[in-house]
Amino acid sequence: MEGTLDEENLVFETTKGIKPIKSFDDMGMNDKVLRGVYDYGYKKPSEIQQRALVPILKGRDVIAQAQSGTGKTSMIAISVCQIVNISSRKVQVLVLSPSRELASQTEKTIQAIGAHTNIQAHACIGGKSIGEDIKKLERGVHAVSGTPGRVYDMIKRGSLQTKAVKLLVLDESDEMLSKGLKDQIYDVYRALPHDIQVCLISATLPQEILEMTEKFMTDPVRILVKPDELTLEVSFSFCHFYALSFSFIMKCINLWFYRESNNTMLMLIKKSGNSILFAIFMEDLLLTKLLSSATQDKRLIGLLRR
């Protein structure tokens, strides 16, 4: 099964003077970050990356309208890896996300793209040991990806120092507001330097989001998609694997993703008694298992992972 956003036909309403940059080589990234981008599997920037990356790297506040599957997580990771000063083990970037799964995914993507830079990122999310968070932060990290509640808790405890933070990313802002996290976002923002750079990413732009941009941002670059262009085209492809070796199946899967776009979902169904296994690979080749033996909540969390 493949779901792709028809990027080539999207119509962007972009701040005047912002032009798409068609190659990562022309974005002014350092060689180590650029190497990480290509090692990660990218050959060229996605449509949103072509328009938003350079303004972010230049220090501009940015409002980017982007859905899952547009390369937004990688865009965040590239920005983080380029912006941080590796020689200083202080937190310099905060990325707030609406879910533990997305925050964890962002952390892993930062580590992957920054593999040649020695960047240290940490996910501050609920369900993990507070003690481990404190130890990791006190040892020093360059970037923190987390949910607003846990991040603010670490700030209140004094474990997450914010004086050196120069970029705040609000990922899936509309989702955070729909979950009632507005007050926690504001609490985190008030703890940051007054001249903080802010990047807000949201699939939709309700009034609450616009109010937030007015309070948080200064002359932001706007990269918006016309509402009637925000559609996700889904097509289905079926492939039957019978009694084939595991290695052969994996070769087929790798070939599939080599040929298809980065925004790909592949669903493998294996029947064994009453259990069904779905392997879902999305933008960053995430793997999610949905087992009948798991609770409904766990299966739903797995299905909604980005």
pTM over 0.75: no
Which pLDDT score is estimated for 278?
39
- Residue 137 CB neighbour total at 10 angstroms: 19
Write out the residue limits of the CATH 3.40.50.300 domain(s) in the chain.
Answer: 8-227
- Our CA angle for 106, 92, 32, nearest 5°, is 65
Which 3-state string (H, E, C) describes the chain? Answer: CEEEECHHHCCEEECCCCCCCCCHHHCCCCHHHHHHHHHCCCCCCCHHHHHHHHHHHCCCCEEEECCCCCCHHHHHHHHHHHHCCCCCCCCCEEEECCCHHHHHHHHHHHHHHCCCCCCCEEEECCCCCHHHHHHHHHHCCCEEEECHHHHHHHHHCCCCCCCCCCEEEECCHHHHHHCCCHHHHHHHHHCCCCCCEEEEEECCCCHHHHHHHHHHCCCCEEEEECHHHCCEEEECCCCCCCCCCHHHHHHHHHHHHHHCCCCCCCCCEEEECCEEEECCCCCCCCCCCCCCCCCHHHHHHHHCCC
The rounded distance, in Å, linking the Cα atoms of 275 and 278 is 10
Beta bridge partners of 3: 234
Closest to 166 in 3D by CA, of 131, 195, 133: 195
Q: What's the confidence (pLDDT) of residue 285?
A: 45
168 strand-pairing partners: 94, 198
What is the pLDDT, as a whole number, of residue 280? 37
pLDDT score of 182: 93
Comparing CA positions, the residue from 78, 84, 82 lying closest to residue 42 is 78
Which mean pLDDT values do the consecutive 10-residue runs of the chain (306 residues) have? Answer: 44 76 96 96 91 96 85 94 95 97 95 96 93 95 97 96 97 93 95 96 88 90 66 46 53 51 51 38 47 52 46
Cα distance between residue 199 and residue 213, in whole Å: 9
Tokens describing residue 196: 């903080």
Q: Return the pLDDT at 18.
A: 83
Q: What are phi and psi of 14, to 5 degrees?
A: -110, 145
Instruction: Classify domain 8-227 by CATH number.
Output: 3.40.50.300
